[in-house]
Each structure stands twice: as C-alpha cells, then as structure tokens.
C-alpha cells in the first residue's frame, strides 16, 4: 500500500496569506514559503503586520470563508484516493484550514496550531514538530508504506527528497531551476500521472 502526501496551499488551495493580503490591500502579507525559506522568519513578519494593522484571527477566518479550492482539486483528490491513501501535510494552521478541508472532502490533514490572545489577535504558533513534513514521510516509510509526495515550495523540498517519488507542482521558476532533479507538473492530469506507480 502506498500513501500520497500532498502540500495544501499551492497544490490544492490558493495561498491563504495572499488572499488575506489582497483583501486588506497589504502587499507585506503576500510573502509565502515560495519567497522566504525560513518559516519562523516568515511567520514573525506576518504576525508583526497583523498586529500593526489590527487584523484579528476572526478577520482572517472571514476571508477564508469566501475561498474555494483550486479548480479541479476536489476531483483530483477523489481520483487519487482510488490509488492511494492521501494525507495532506501542511505548514498552515487548523484554525485556517478546516473549512477548506471540508470543501476538499475531508482528507486527513496534519498541520499546526495558532495561539490567540484574549483580544483575538494571533500571538504565536505551535509547530506540530520541526520539519514535520519530512518526519511524517519518514514515519510512514518506517511502518512499511511506500510514499509519493507533491509540493510547490521551499518548505516541501525535504518531504519530496524523503519520499520514494517527489513531484513539484506549479513551483516558482527559482525553485524549478535550483531543484531540477524533481519532475514538475503544471496541471492535475500531469501530477496524477507522475505520482501513480
């Protein structure tokens, strides 16, 4: 039996932080793991901007409520589930992702948590574990599963390297050029073909 591990944002969903940036007309929130490889640096940057602009968790959840999965993502997942057990490994937060996970048919999601102040501001975050995507793939392999994986950003590379087969999905050019050993898919039919045995 094989498990397919997928990143969430950029593979199945639009980038949540970009949607928030567009809603609030704040380009400082547009940065993602496609731009900054140090996750803590990126999150500290985001938290500072949220506080400065008085954007609370409920405000972000309001933006997320209006979001939809990427076109074709639900059908892709449904088809993929015929070949694999599918697990979504993400650096996002349960407080953000759960409404969108339901729209994807409730695949298993492993991600992180937020800490929130009494006044409703995001005060910090709790990682499930550092380098959690790679460690999850390693654990699945350790209990006898074959693992294939797909992601789009710097924070997915260790997961892709650890999997039996890793595929980049719509990565930015900087990642494609630097990590050319990974096959690249630009649409779901190609991704499905590259993931399947």
Q: What is the CATH number of the domain that holds 171?
A: 3.40.50.1000
pLDDT higher than threshold 80 for residue 149: yes
What proportion of the chain, given as a percentage, has pLDDT over 90?
88
pLDDT, tens digit (0-9, with 9 covering 90-100), for 10-27: 999 999 999 999 999 999
From residue 152, give the alpha-carbon distance in Å to each of 60, 82, 124, 149, 168: 23, 23, 25, 11, 5
Residue 39: predicted pLDDT: 83
Name the residues annotated as catalytic.
7, 9
Whether residue 23 lies inside any domain: the answer is no
pLDDT higher than threshold 80 for residue 95: yes
DSSP states along 122-176: EEEEE-SSTTHHHHHHHHHHHTT-EEEEEE-SGGGHHHHHHSSEEEEES--HHHH
Whether residue 75 lies inside any domain: the answer is yes
Whether residue 114 lies inside any domain: the answer is yes
What proportion of the chain, given as a percentage, has pLDDT over 70?
100
Whether residue 49 lies inside any domain: the answer is no
By residue range, what is the domain housing residue 145? 2-16+67-195
Structure pTM?
0.91
Whether residue 171 lies inside any domain: the answer is yes
Helices assigned H by DSSP within the chain = 16-24, 39-52, 57-65, 73-80, 94-103, 132-142, 157-162, 173-178, 188-195
Whether residue 41 lies inside any domain: the answer is no
Whether residue 178 lies inside any domain: the answer is yes
User: What is the tally of structural domains in the chain?
Assistant: 1
């Amino acid at each position: 039996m094989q498990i397919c591990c997928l990143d969430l944002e950029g593979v199945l969903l639009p980038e949540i932080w970009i949607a928030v940036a567009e809603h609030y007309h704040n380009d400082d929130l547009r940065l993602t793991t496609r731009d900054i490889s140090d996750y803590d640096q990126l999150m500290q940057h985001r938290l500072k901007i949220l506080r400065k602009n008085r954007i609370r968790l409920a405000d972000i959840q309001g933006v997320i409520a209006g979001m939809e999965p990427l076109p074709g993502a639900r059908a892709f997942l449904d088809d993929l589930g015929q070949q694999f057990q599918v697990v979504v490994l993400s650096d996002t937060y349960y407080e953000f992702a759960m409404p969108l996970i339901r729209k994807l048919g409730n695949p298993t999601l492993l991600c992180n948590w937020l800490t929130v102040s009494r006044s409703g501001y995001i005060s910090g975050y709790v990682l499930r574990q550092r380098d959690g995507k790679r460690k999850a793939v390693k654990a699945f392999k350790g209990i006898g599963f074959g693992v294939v994986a797909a992601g789009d950003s710097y924070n997915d590379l260790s997961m892709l390297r650890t999997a039996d087969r890793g595929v980049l999905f719509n990565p930015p050019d900087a990642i494609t050029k630097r990590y050319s050993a990974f096959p690249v898919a630009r649409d779901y039919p190609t991704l499905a073909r590259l993931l399947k045995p």
